[in-house]
Amino acid sequence: MAKGDDTVRKKKNKALRKKLNRKTDSSNVSARIASIIASKKRRKAGKRRICQGMCFSLPTLDDPFNDRLDKKVISKRETKKIMPSEVDWKIPADRKDAVPKNGSALGNDLKVDSLEKINEKMMDLKDEQKKLVTLINNVGKTRHMNSGRVQIQPGGKKISVHGHQEQACESAHCPSKYLILCLKAIEDALHYDGTYNCEEGKSLFVNTWGVEFWRCYSVGKDILETSGSSSDVEQIAWIASTASDAISRREKEGLSFTSPFLLFLVPSKEKALKVRSLCKPLKAVGIHTVSLHPGASVDHQISGLQSCEPEFLVSTPERLLKLVSLEAIDVAGVSMLVIDGMESLSRGGYLNAIKSIRQAISGNPHTLVFNDSFSNASIPAVQNLLTGLVYRLSLNDSVASQSACIIQSIYVCSSKEERMMKGIDALDDVYWNQMIPQPLKVLYIVGKDNNVEKLVSAVKLKGYSISISSSLNIMEFENSLHSGIRGRRTVSVVATEHISSTDLGEYGVVILPDFVLSIDDYVQILSRMARQTVNGVLHSFLTEDDAQHAGPLIEILEKCGQAVPEALRNLCHVDHPF
């Protein structure tokens, strides 16, 4: 019976193993050949004897492995800074030169030097962290965080605004050391390239905007940046470092990502390359950044996306939408969305693309919008992106910056009766406006000369019931007729003299049935109202008696990029007594 191939192969292998065993058997060869064979085996296995390269005794034929020598037990050395002891420095009086003991600090100069460098770096990180803590405490005292979700008091205590506690992303006391390391990596790379020279006290670690952004992100807020410009180097560094820290924390929790964590939408190829260059130093910590723009072919970008899974994705809206349609990239799991230069994107015709990209993202990612203009053209796009409660972030104290995305509606009336009725009609427009996703609180601000009784009667005719608050002389009108349709509505009324003591930030709509006494009061109302929404509206009603305010009011509208009614321009030319 013929033998199978497997049987023949097994027989040959057995014969080969016997042959190799005979060659390597130390009993059949001399001691010299056996030592050579053993050394060759160790070399191929990557193992070395303890004494090899460290002793002066050579192997002999009688003792090829130096087994007769006492093997010293080598303990694992602790990686800590070795301080010189007093015993190591004891030198006899009759000798000027002395050799320090084995294992002393003087005999380990190289290790001490390296450890000292490590300690210096750790001390620098601790100093930077202390600076951050000081800056955060100062910011917390001067700026009261007030959002629709969570409030942070100066002491770091989180208080829910709507009656439910939300879990913060991380501790609100101080950024983590990992975030500081990411900032330091970016700053060192900028110094090495010579593109960034920070002055004393202006390091990335103590950037005020960055600390404010970190605080907002830590409690899960959507952010509207209203400085009137696109993102700069410091802001991009803080955004990238905060996102890297969030990725690190979630990976420690055992979470994985199938989509890019951060999506950074930019208006041009140049901006995409700039953002990617700033994020490139984070590759050392495992954060990969990919930029997508029209400057490269689609096939090249598709092959690049197939070879890696980036954590950060920087792209122009049009190119990203094309790659998403080709299923080359999945953005459904994006956790953080940054839109840089809303006005520039609007002029480039990318608003529809941004809307489609946002619809492709499932869930509610943390959204940051840089509004680089104060024009009304970009307000609808911002309102579509930021549908919930937001926080306004800006270090610019100008009226245009503080009143971004607040529409100023100016009406010129012929009589005081017409002014009051239009003020009531504005109230109905707010409550029946189906375009606003969330209800807005409404505030009436009345002057001393206004007949409050007539206003109350007009409100009653509209179906509102009245209740009076005990604080700040505020009267509240509650709509009882419409409560079954869109929920219970509350309208507050406050006198002009109580503006300074009233929290205007919680009111999305403010109505001035009779114009305020001075333009400074108008600016104060405009810059303090609607801090939690991008749907703010300020209704103002003027008559010929308010002609003195027409000129300054036109200047404010032009600074804020809003249209000036023709009736207001005509009112500016009306003669009025001073």
Residues 32-46 have a mean pLDDT of 74
Q: What is the CB-side half-sphere exposure of residue 184 using CA atoms within 13 A?
A: 15
More confident residue, 112 or 511: 511
pLDDT per residue over 173-209, tens digit each?
Answer: 678 889 999 999 999 998 887 766 655 446 788 888 9
Domains 177-192+204-396 and 403-574 agree in fold: yes
List the alpha helices (DSSP H) in 334-451. 342-347, 351-360, 379-385, 399-402, 416-431
**Is the confidence at residue 443, as pLDDT, over 60?**
yes
Residues 380-394 have a mean pLDDT of 88
The yes or no reply on domain 177-192+204-396 and CATH 1.10.10.2160 is no
**Is the confidence at residue 19, as pLDDT, over 60?**
yes
CA angle 229, 233, 234 (to 5 degrees): 95
Residues 22-44 have a mean pLDDT of 70
How far apart CA 383 and CA 442 sit, in angstroms, is 19
Q: What is the average pLDDT value for the chain, to the nearest integer?
A: 76
**Is the confidence at residue 487, as pLDDT, over 60?**
no
pLDDT given at position 553: 94
pLDDT per residue over 228-283, tens digit each?
Answer: 889 999 999 999 999 999 999 998 888 888 889 999 999 999 999 999 999 999 99
pLDDT given at position 56: 52
pLDDT given at position 245: 93
Q: Show the tokens assigned to 457.
A: 């009667």
pLDDT given at position 104: 44
pLDDT given at position 149: 34
Residues 302-317 have a mean pLDDT of 92
Domain boundaries of the chain, sorted by first residue: 177-192+204-396, 403-574
pLDDT given at position 93: 42
Quick check: 205 and 238 in contact, CB under 8 A?
no
**Is the confidence at residue 99, as pLDDT, over 50?**
no
More confident residue, 477 or 147: 477
Stretch (H or E) spanning 263: strand 262-265
Pairing assessment for the beta strands 222-225 and 390-393 based on DSSP bridges = parallel
More confident residue, 566 or 2: 566
Question: Quick one: which of 269, 529, 300, 313 has its CA closest to 405?
Answer: 529
- Assign domain 403-574 one CATH number from 3.40.50.300, 3.40.50.150, 3.40.50.280, 3.20.20.10: 3.40.50.300
How far apart CA 68 and CA 160 sit, in angstroms, is 75
pLDDT per residue over 527-538, tens digit each?
Answer: 999 998 998 999
Residues 419-434 have a mean pLDDT of 77
**Is the confidence at residue 288, as pLDDT, over 90?**
yes
Q: Which of 125-129, 163-167, 536-540 has the lowest mean pLDDT?
A: 163-167
pLDDT given at position 49: 53
pLDDT given at position 331: 93
Question: Quick one: which of 250, 266, 312 has its CA closest to 286?
Answer: 312
pTM as predicted: 0.68
Question: Quick one: which of 507, 311, 515, 518 has its CA closest to 413?
Answer: 515
Percent above pLDDT 70 for the chain = 67
Q: What is the CB-side half-sphere exposure of residue 175 using CA atoms within 13 A?
A: 38
pLDDT per residue over 67-87, tens digit each?
Answer: 665 544 444 444 444 444 443
Helices 519-528 and 550-559, packing angle to 10 deg: 30
- The per-residue DSSP string of 85-137 comes to PTTTT---TT-S--PPPTTSGGGGHHHHHHHHHHHHHHHHHHHHHHHHHHHHH
